[in-house]
């Protein structure tokens, strides 16, 4: 599966637009602020990385359901909620491409 933030893929022709796909994931544990800011920021960074990978996997699963072989125009949004839950949303257009 080809994933790109651009609206086209160099060397490939988009032959069918299959629909908008999303992947969303949220950390199930809040990140409490302690005495060490470096530990706090490290926990946030780790949480976002984990949640981002889950969101991308959800995006891939949804694109596969549409029989896509690429997703173009990917946009990633990262949010830290008021209760310090990391949430990542990934959106793109599932397409069928050929060489």
Q: What are the mean pLDDT values of the chain's consecutive 10-residue runs (99 residues total)? A: 96 98 86 70 83 96 98 95 85 96
- Residue 36, strand partner residues: none
By the 10 Å C-beta count (0-12 exposed, 13-18 middle, 19+ buried), 14 is classed as middle
Query: What are the start-end ranges of the H helices in 1-95?
Result: 37-65
Question: Measured between alpha carbons, how far is 69 from 30 in angstroms, rounded to an integer?
Answer: 36
Residue 47: predicted pLDDT = 84
β-partners of residue 19 are 94
Q: Could you tell me the pTM of the whole model?
A: 0.84
pLDDT of residue 10: 95
- The predicted pLDDT at position 30 comes to 60
Q: Are 89 and 24 in contact (CB under 8 A)?
A: yes
């Amino acid at each position: 599966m080809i994933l790109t933030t651009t609206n086209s893929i160099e060397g490939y022709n988009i032959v069918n637009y299959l629909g908008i796909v999303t992947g969303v994931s949220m950390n199930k544990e809040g990140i409490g602020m302690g005495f060490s800011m470096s530990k706090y920021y490290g926990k946030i960074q780790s949480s976002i990385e984990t949640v981002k990978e889950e969101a991308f996997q959800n995006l891939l699963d949804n694109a596969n359901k549409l029989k896509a072989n690429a997703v173009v125009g990917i946009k990633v949004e990262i949010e830290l909620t008021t209760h310090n839950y990391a949430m990542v949303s990934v959106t793109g257009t599932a397409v069928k491409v050929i060489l």
